[in-house]
Amino acid sequence: MAEPDAPTPPADLPGGDEPPEGGASARSAPAFDLQKTWNWLVANARQMGRDLVEQALLLYFGYQQPDLPFWARARIAGALLYVISPIDLIPDLLPGGLLDDLAILNLALRSVQRYLSDDTRAKARAQLVKWFGEG
């Protein structure tokens, strides 16, 4: 459960299995719950550290871009699903337990970063500054 002062999700957050803005096609990406991903980010932001959160936010907001290619949307969904999944290669409670999450997010981000818009980067940056301040 999120802390009382935890930020609320952006107003344009699509819910549940609804397709991202721009409609769905027969080849839509795997559906996952963006609200659950947001809640996980809020609850774990401080523990994960700035770098991991920045990558997760870029992917989170990037997934919502209507012009994102199918394969990129699927890769982002897979990475974010892995990160919020309770089943990990390295359990998160162990020392260094977030390293596998960081690696998955890093690989996904590297493969889709050229498709991320300036608006997506600005949204991720603004949320990062809200949570961590300038830095």
- What average pLDDT does range 19-25 have in this prediction? 42
Q: What is the pLDDT of residue 2?
A: 41
User: Does the pLDDT at position 68 exceed 90?
Assistant: yes
User: Does the pLDDT at position 120 exceed 70?
Assistant: yes
Q: What is the pLDDT of residue 115?
A: 97
Q: Which residue has the higher pLDDT, 102 or 10?
A: 102
Give the confidence band of 57 by pLDDT, cuts at 50, 70, 90: very high
The residue type found at 63 is Y
Domain map of the chain by residue range? 34-132
Q: For residues 77 and 29, is the Cβ–Cβ distance under 8 A? A: yes
- What average pLDDT does range 80-85 have in this prediction? 89
